[in-house]
Structure 1
């Protein structure tokens, strides 16, 4: 029996919403008898706003939950308790609704991490100003791998400031300009680069 990824994602989002969380990504890894369902979660917009507010309060420098030097927007705000509660409820629903039919599977739940993948237009808008690595389907200026600061995202085109990092390899040769524009449709994969 085939997996219905849309039903699994919809169920994950429904369960996450009941815990004031958002599903960032979901991936299934299958190999032989062993299957792993990974779900990456973060606090919902309201929870992230509370985290940002807390970071601007006096004394936030001593806050053990808010690491020093990391932009608060890059933090998911998710705790071990959030992951455990979500995994318990989501795993129960998966089993009751038989959304992972067949052999056993492993459910892994975690935050997306500091170097999270960028998925859609919302992510490119939200993380404007962050360092990113981008790989394109087709070469742009004879290069498929770029790293720079995401300075803009308009009309489904992202703009990278290449002067924000030292370019290497082909990117160094291809970077005749200080900025580059890449259509979102040409982005094969992209992720944040942690700054400390």
Structure 2
């Protein structure tokens, strides 16, 4: 996608996303056979529900039909939220990942998996899980030391205290454990 097309699409679509309280994270145009694919990734501090993606998709489709931003020819529009193992590239991504386990690739070399406990303008406060019965340790990671960071999927999270300490609910609404407590 050319820079001018990217800028034009962002200029058209960003206001639609922000009107819904969403951040426009990414715009990608690619080829799918003879058709083109426009993939729009949005997110918010509360996450993005399927209905919000569907409504935004309709608005984007209408807006693109009014303009020639996609040029002539057919294209497929996909409006989605970031994947579960999304890369963390912006400050807001780290804030949204508070309480989550993240794999950091460090600039000086090496990798580190740690749970984000807090975020400020200079870096993240983390808890590095202990190995073989050892206690977890606190570690400060300045943003300048991070080459890449990506949220890791946890299927059997044993410690919800880190999520609560970070200010995120340990059991989101709709979780079976929450329903049992309310019943």
TM range (shorter): 0.5 to 0.7
Aligned counterpart, 1:78: 49
Distance apart, 1:22 and its partner CA: 0.3
Q: Is the contact made by 2:18 and 2:24 (CA closer than 8 Å) also made in structure 1?
A: no
Aligned counterpart, 1:51: none
**C-alpha RMSD over aligned residues:** 3.2
Matches within 5 A, 1:27-106: 27-31=27-31, 34-42=35-43, 48=46, 76-79=47-50, 81-101=51-71, 103-106=73-76
Matches within 5 A, 1:1-196: 2=2, 3-18=4-19, 20-31=20-31, 34-42=35-43, 48=46, 76-79=47-50, 81-101=51-71, 103-136=73-106, 138-139=107-108, 142-143=109-110, 145-163=111-129, 178-196=137-155
**TM-score where L is the length of structure 1:** 0.59
Q: Is the contact made by 1:121 and 1:156 (CA closer than 8 Å) also made in structure 2?
A: no
Deviations 1:80-118, CA, capped at 9 Å, x for gaps: x32222112102212322222355332111222433332
Aligned counterpart, 1:171: none
**Whose helix fraction is larger, Structure 1's or Structure 2's?**
1
Distance apart, 1:179 and its partner CA: 4.5
Identify unmatched segments of 5+ residues in structure 1. 49-75, 168-176
**TM-score where L is the length of structure 2:** 0.63
* Structure 1: distance between partners of 2:61 and 2:153: 31
Identify unmatched segments of 5+ residues in structure 2. 156-183
